[in-house]
A and B are shown apart, each in its own frame.
Chain A
Amino acid sequence: MAETSLKRMAGIAWQLPGVLRQAMAIHHGSLLGVSKRLYATMKQRYTPDEALVEGLLNPSLPDEELDRRCSQSTISRIQRKRSPATWRPLISDKGVFYRYCEAAGIPVPPLFAIFSRTTPGWTCKGRLLVRREEWVSYFTKECPPEFVIKPSTGRRGGGIRFLRRTGTEFQTPDGQTFSAAGLYDGMVENRSTETFIIQARLRNHPALEELHGTKALHTIRIATALTPDAKCIVLFAMYKVIGGSAYVDNICHGRTGNIPVGVDLENGIILEDRHDGGNSPMVHPKSGLPLTGYRVPYWREAVALAMEAALKFSPIGMVGWDVAVTPNGPVIIEGNLWFEIFSASDARPILAALAATDARPD
């Protein structure tokens, strides 16, 4: 048995007791009821942890709910088959991704610089930065006053810093203050990634800013798949609403308090909440404004952009694009190879569309 399979099984076995205990406490269910559910989810390749955070271990959940969902492992199998391994860094490393997008004419946030812990850094003017003092001078004199620092291989919004320069200091939205040397040292000391990107901070479209009551950038996840006849289809679109005080809109299986809501692909109108059975219109958790029925600005352009990007990244066959709608139109924030199908979506038509567009031998 492959080492990865053994590791996966060991991980699952390790999770089991804790997950059962938590599920019984959350859903007030019996051990037998929760265990039956757990068994059903594991047959669909959910990990116990994933089934727990997705709320699938509730014994009173109708079986149909399980049928319309899709585990990360199931979708990953399809994603793996549709993306050649050596092409993946084109999307998984943000520095490479943004340089490629810029060269291919795909709108992305302007890239100011790339920092590398072990090699010279790069600035958008072509200059290379080698020493600490050069980076310090870059941050204080050359870099625009508002920017974002992202780890190149970061996931789920981890390690992102939004910064604004005031005088010789840099402030984050939550009030932390850094010197230019502090920013440099922070990147050097961060061992989780080799390179960081420094890029422009984008703003939401004014209509969206009003809806959300926050300046944090919201994105729409638009998942695309290539078809054998050189076309592209959109699998689903989800608006990621920041529910709490976070500055990133990542969902992380609901751990962040952010909420994914479905968007009608035809017209960009936010759909009603499926969890609620569609009985009551959703309202924004922060602004209190109605979400259901809200029409996302620049919708057609956003979908067209995701499809254009998908074709430019062929032969990578499946990508979840995070598209921000800014005052000037849609912009790609990132691409995701291993995107999840959020619980708000019905996975059945998505999987059917993927099966129908699978490039198969005749």
Chain B
Amino acid sequence: MDADRITRHTRILLQIPVVVAQAVMRHGGHLPAIARKLVLSLKHRYEPREAFAKELLDPTLPDSEFSKHLSRSNMSRIQRQCNPAAWEALLADKSVFYRYCTVCGIPIPTVYATFSKYSPGVTQSGKLLAGRQQWVSYLLEECPPEIVLKPNHGFYGFGIMFLERTHGEFVDNYGKHFRAEAVYDRMMSDKKSDMFVIQERIRNHRDIARLSGSQALQTMRMTTVLQADGSVTLAWAHLKLAGGEHLVDNYRYGELNNLMAGVDTRTGVVRQMLLSHNSKITAHPKTGIPIVGFQIPYWSESRALVERSARKFSPLGTIGWDVAVTQNGPMIIEGNIWYDPPSAPDIADFLAAFRTLIPTPKKN
């Protein structure tokens, strides 16, 4: 058994007791019924935590429901069949991704600088920066006052810092103050990432900001699939809405109280809330504004943008794009090869988009 498998199996084993306890609390005390659902979900290659988040451990759910969903693991299989491994490098590292977007003319938030622990960093003007003093002076004197710091290999919004410089100091979104030296030290001492992107902070279109009443940048996940004839199918789209006070819109198994809403790929109108525990919501819990029926601004432009981007990144066959709609139009925030499977009410339509790339896409 290889190391990856051992890690996966260990992770699953460790999740089981916590997830079973959570499921018993949420769905009532039918332990044998929940255990049966857990076994069934493992057979469909779901990790326990994933099955719980998708409400698949609910004993009242008919077994046939499993065939309407797609596990993370089976999604990865499809992604592996569509995307050449070597090309992952273009999306895995955000600084590389943004550079490629720039040369392709794909709109992205301006990259002010790229920080690297072990080699000189580079600023927007091409200047190389090395050492604490040069970076501190860059952060204080050259860098625009409002920035976002992103780890190059970050995912689910982990490690992102929103900073604003006032009176020679930086203040983050929680009101914590940092000296420029501390910002540098924080990047240098980060154990998970060797590189960071220092980037422009983007604001949402006013309609989206009003809907959630949040300053967080809320994006749409738009999943494209290339077709054999070179056309692009928008296989899935959902809107990620801030539900809590966080400045990132990632769902993270519901930890951040953020919301996900399915979008009609033709019209850009929100069709339904996703995930059953918030399926009864029709309006935003904070603002009371209806979510279902909300028209996403610049929809046709967003669609055209991801279709154009997908062609530029070909031979990568499928990418999950995070698109921010700003007051001036859409821009790409990131591209994901290993995107999560859509939480669609029925996955069949999504899988149909892969027909010309993979003759028989693997379902559960």
Interface positions of A (Cβ within 8 A of B): 81-87, 89-90, 93, 95-96, 100, 103-105, 114, 116, 118-122, 125-130, 134, 152-153, 194-195, 226-230, 311-312, 314-315, 317, 359-362
Task: Tell me, yes or no, whether B264 is within 8 Å of chain A by CB.
Answer: no
Additional A-B contact list (19), CB under 8 Å, known A86-B95, A227-B128, A362-B134 = A83-B119, A84-B116, A86-B93, A86-B96, A86-B152, A90-B89, A95-B315, A100-B100, A105-B103, A118-B81, A119-B80, A119-B83, A120-B315, A120-B317, A130-B356, A226-B128, A229-B127, A230-B123, A230-B126
State which of A86, A116, A312, A361 has its C-beta within 8 Å of the C-beta of B133: A361
Are A86 and B228 within 8 A (Cβ)?
Answer: no
Given A86-B96, A126-B314, A104 and B229 touching (CB < 8 A)?
no
State which of B90, B122, B312 has its C-beta within 8 Å of the C-beta of A314: B122
State which of A84, A96, A125, A229 has its C-beta within 8 Å of the C-beta of B87: A96
Task: Tell me, yes or no, whether B293 is within 8 Å of chain A by CB.
Answer: no
Shortest Cβ distance from B96 into chain A, in angstroms? Answer: 6
Are B357 and A89 within 8 A (Cβ)?
Answer: no
Which chain B residue shows the least CB distance to A152?
B86
Q: What residues on B are CB-neighbors of A81 within 8 Å? A: 118-119
Which chain B residue shows the least CB distance to A123?
B230
Give me 16 A-to-B residue pairs in the complex whose CB atoms sit less than 8 angstroms apart, sorted by A's number.
A85-B194, A86-B195, A93-B89, A96-B86, A118-B84, A120-B228, A122-B314, A127-B229, A128-B227, A128-B229, A130-B228, A195-B84, A311-B126, A314-B126, A315-B95, A362-B133
Shortest Cβ distance from B128 into chain A, in angstroms? Answer: 4
Are B128 and A359 within 8 A (Cβ)?
Answer: yes
Q: What residues on A are CB-neighbors of B119 within 8 Å? A: 81-84, 315, 317
- Which 10 pairs from chain A and chain B are nearest by CB? A361-B131, A230-B126, A126-B230, A89-B89, A122-B315, A359-B120, A86-B93, A359-B130, A315-B122, A359-B128
Given A82-B120, A120-B315, A315-B122, A230 and B128 touching (CB < 8 A)?
yes
Task: Tell me, yes or no, whether B61 is within 8 Å of chain A by CB.
Answer: no
Are A86 and B89 within 8 A (Cβ)?
Answer: yes
Q: What residues on A are CB-neighbors of B357 within 8 Å? A: 120, 128, 130
Interface positions of B (Cβ within 8 A of A): 80-87, 89-90, 92-93, 95-96, 100, 103-104, 114, 116, 118-123, 125-134, 152-153, 194-195, 226-230, 311-312, 314-315, 317, 356-357, 359
Given A82-B120, A194-B86, A314-B122, A127 and B130 touching (CB < 8 A)?
no
Are A119 and B81 within 8 A (Cβ)?
Answer: yes
A315 CA to B122 CA in the complex, in Å?
6
Which chain A residue shows the least CB distance to B123?
A230
A125 CA to B80 CA in the complex, in Å?
23
Which chain A residue shows the least CB distance to B120?
A359
Given A126-B314, A228-B120, A314-B122, A95 and B131 touching (CB < 8 A)?
no
Shortest Cβ distance from A70 into chain B, in angstroms? Answer: 20
A360 CA to B132 CA in the complex, in Å?
10
Shortest Cβ distance from A345 into chain B, in angstroms? Answer: 24
Shortest Cβ distance from A153 into chain B, in angstroms? Answer: 7
Given A130-B356, A359-B130, A95 and B87 touching (CB < 8 A)?
yes
Are A121 and B315 within 8 A (Cβ)?
Answer: yes
Q: What residues on B are CB-neighbors of A134 within 8 Å? A: 228
State which of A86, A96, A119 has its C-beta within 8 Å of the C-beta of B317: A119
Q: What residues on B are CB-neighbors of A114 within 8 Å? A: 84, 315
Interface centre among A86, A90, A100 (most CB of B within 10 A): A86
Are B315 and A315 within 8 A (Cβ)?
Answer: no
Shortest Cβ distance from A305 into chain B, in angstroms? Answer: 16
Shortest Cβ distance from B312 into chain A, in angstroms? Answer: 7
Q: What residues on A are CB-neighbors of B89 within 8 Å? A: 86, 89-90, 93, 96
Which chain A residue shows the least CB distance to B119?
A84
A83 CA to B84 CA in the complex, in Å?
23
Shortest Cβ distance from A81 into chain B, in angstroms? Answer: 6
Are A195 and B133 within 8 A (Cβ)?
Answer: no
Which chain B residue shows the least CB distance to A94?
B86
Are B228 and A127 within 8 A (Cβ)?
Answer: yes
Given A83-B119, A121-B315, A127 and B230 touching (CB < 8 A)?
yes
A226 CA to B126 CA in the complex, in Å?
9
Shortest Cβ distance from A302 into chain B, in angstroms? Answer: 22
Are B84 and A128 within 8 A (Cβ)?
Answer: no
Are A317 and B100 within 8 A (Cβ)?
Answer: no
Shortest Cβ distance from B119 into chain A, in angstroms? Answer: 5
Q: What residues on A are CB-neighbors of B80 within 8 Å? A: 118-119
Q: What residues on B are CB-neighbors of A82 within 8 Å? A: 119-120
Q: What residues on B are CB-neighbors of A121 within 8 Å? A: 315
A89 CA to B228 CA in the complex, in Å?
26
Are B128 and A228 within 8 A (Cβ)?
Answer: yes
A93 CA to B312 CA in the complex, in Å?
17
A129 CA to B85 CA in the complex, in Å?
17
A311 CA to B131 CA in the complex, in Å?
21
State which of B134, B314, B359 has its C-beta within 8 Å of the C-beta of A128: B314
Given A93-B86, A195-B84, A312-B103, A359 and B129 touching (CB < 8 A)?
yes
Q: What residues on A are CB-neighbors of B96 within 8 Å? A: 86-87, 89-90
A314 CA to B124 CA in the complex, in Å?
10
A315 CA to B99 CA in the complex, in Å?
10
Shortest Cβ distance from A244 into chain B, in angstroms? Answer: 32
Shortest Cβ distance from A80 into chain B, in angstroms? Answer: 8
State which of B84, B90, B104, B359 has its C-beta within 8 Å of the C-beta of A116: B84
Are B132 and A361 within 8 A (Cβ)?
Answer: yes
